[in-house]
């Protein structure tokens, strides 16, 4: 029997915006409905198939293309790939949308000042001190999504509330919650 097609949830946003955290909170909600869910986290993919890439524009674009390819393969096999990737370039996100086909762009809108306060990996601090370069939001661009399917504001919402909000938005937009 042919598996029903899945679809891709593509989280984009600044470092420390909450992409990984919310992706991990959405996962059990969709699994409980019977979906196979795979989180494709930018950091993890960089340790694997993108280990050869840097953080310049070409490196970030190639990284996003590889993630999009994997997401496409998963989605067409009936799974829900949840991508958590800064994906700072609009052109990369447009490419992913085209490549994957069934694609939901979710912009985690956390403002830079809040991200910088969270600074999960300490990279904002290092970038401010000039110890590292090509830090998105500091000395590397982040192109704000113009028409994402979903915007999620993490300020004043727990990750669980954000995850519930996303599921209700998926339903409202007509994406199947049951496989
Ligand atoms: N309401 C919230 N929603 C999501 N994360 C929150 C919230 N409040 C605080 N946080 C914290 O913010 C941090 C978000 O970090 P997370 O690693 O998810 O960001 P990220 O977008 O994946 O960043 P990166 O691009 O660097 O991987 C976590 O430490 C999380 O606990
Ligand atoms: Mg992350």
Helix (H) or strand (E) holding 37: strand 36-41
Nearest ligand for residue 135 CA: 1
Give mean pLDDT, residues 20-32: 98
**pLDDT category, 2, cuts 50, 70, 90?**
low
Is 22 touching ligand 1 by the criterion CB < 6 Å? yes
Q: Is residue 1 part of a domain?
A: no
Residue positions annotated with a catalytic role? 87
Is 159 touching ligand 1 by the criterion CB < 6 Å? yes
Q: Is residue 90 part of a domain?
A: yes
- Domain tally, the chain: 1
Could you report the per-residue pLDDT of 91-145, keeping only the tens digit for each?
A: 999 999 999 999 999 999 999 999 999 999 999 999 999 999 999 999 999 999 9
Q: Is residue 151 part of a domain?
A: yes
The residue whose CB lies within 8 Å of the most ligand 1 atoms, and thus the one to mutate among 21, 116, 123, 142, is 21
Could you give the percent of the chain with pLDDT greater than 70? 98
CA 53, CA 50: separation in Å to the nearest integer? 5
**pLDDT attached to residue 100:** 98
Q: Is residue 3 part of a domain?
A: no
**pLDDT attached to residue 25:** 98
**pLDDT attached to residue 106:** 99
Q: Is residue 22 part of a domain?
A: yes
The CATH number given to whatever domain includes residue 41 is 3.40.50.300
Distance 144 CA to ligand 1 centre (A): 18
Q: Is residue 96 part of a domain?
A: yes
Q: Is residue 157 part of a domain?
A: yes
Q: Is the pLDDT of residue 19 over 80?
A: yes
**pLDDT category, 3, cuts 50, 70, 90?**
low
pTM listed for this prediction: 0.97
Which range marks the domain in which residue 50 is found? 8-173
**pLDDT category, 4, cuts 50, 70, 90?**
confident
SS3 128: helix
Q: Is residue 141 part of a domain?
A: yes
Alpha helices in the chain (DSSP H): 19-32, 42-47, 57-76, 90-100, 112-118, 123-128, 159-173
Is 135 touching ligand 1 by the criterion CB < 6 Å? no
């Amino acid at each position: 029997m042919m598996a029903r097609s899945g679809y891709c949830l593509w989280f984009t946003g600044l470092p420390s915006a909450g992409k990984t955290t919310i992706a991990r909170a959405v996962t059990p909600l969709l699994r409980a409905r019977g979906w196979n869910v795979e989180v494709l986290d930018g950091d993890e993919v960089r340790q694997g198939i993108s280990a050869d890439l840097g953080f310049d524009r070409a490196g970030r674009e190639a990284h996003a293309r590889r993630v999009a390819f994997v997401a496409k393969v998963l989605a067409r096999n009936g799974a829900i790939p949840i991508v958590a990737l800064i994906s700072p370039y609009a052109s990369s996100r447009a490419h992913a949308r085209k490549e994957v086909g069934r694609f939901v762009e979710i912009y985690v809108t956390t403002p830079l000042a809040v991200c910088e306060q969270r600074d999960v990996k300490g990279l904002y601090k290092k970038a401010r001190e000039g110890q590292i370069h090509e830090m998105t939001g500091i000395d590397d661009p982040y192109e704000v999504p113009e028409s994402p399917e979903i915007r999620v504001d993490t300020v004043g919402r727990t990750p669980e509330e954000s995850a519930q909000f996303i599921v209700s938005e998926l339903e409202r937009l007509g994406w199947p919650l049951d496989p």
